Amino acid sequence: MTTLEQDPPATAPGALPPAPRHRAAPKPTTLVVTFLSSQKLTVVLLLLLGVLTFFGTLAQEQYGIYYVQKEYFESWVVFLPIGLFSMPLPGAVPVLGLLFVNLLVGGCLRMRWQLRNCGVLITHLGVALLLLAGYVKMEMSYAGHLSLYEGGTANAIRSSQEWELALMQKDGDAVSERTLPATAFEHASGTRRFRVTGVGLPFDLELH
């Protein structure tokens, strides 16, 4: 038995054509995953990181490494001096944070886990772990040095970058000390003042 294929019926004169089929709108989660894993986002983040590195390197000559590290690479927003104006840009913290997510989502989750992609997966995971280690060091580490001489003892480290206010009182051979980190009063400038009070102090100390 032979079956003949028939052409679809032609649209009658004056009749409306069939409505086109519309694709379903993508889910919001799909859009977010697509954005976070896109290579365009990777290029933009690397360009921003290059701009921060360039201007941060130039600023080291005037302000020093410690200031540039805090203002450019350990901050959320950077104001780049351009002529008489300052252009705001995201700091290294959000840039490297998005790059970390981009590496995990685009390079590890969306990539096919096959033997031929093993090298690419290891590279993405390695860079992501380096970024994670840098964040942990920035948030949880404390740097300093301890000087020890022959026969001597010490129980405190010295930092060349972190400052503190120390109040010492000598009572015979004993010395009592009260310390206050610089982060507690660094906002005191101009007309703003910071008052230090506490139990055991025979006076109030005002900083400005």
Tens of pLDDT along the chain (208 residues) come to: 555 555 555 555 656 666 666 667 777 788 888 888 888 999 999 999 999 999 999 999 888 888 898 889 989 999 988 778 888 999 999 999 999 999 888 877 777 777 777 888 888 889 999 999 999 998 888 788 888 889 988 888 888 778 888 888 888 888 888 888 887 787 777 677 888 777 677 788 888 7
Task: Give the global pTM.
Answer: 0.66
Q: Are 114 and 46 in contact (CB under 8 A)?
A: no
Specify burial of residue 68 (Cβ count, 10 A radius: 0-12, 13-18, 19+). Answer: buried
Q: 164-171 and 77-82 as β-strands: parallel, antiparallel, unpaired?
A: unpaired
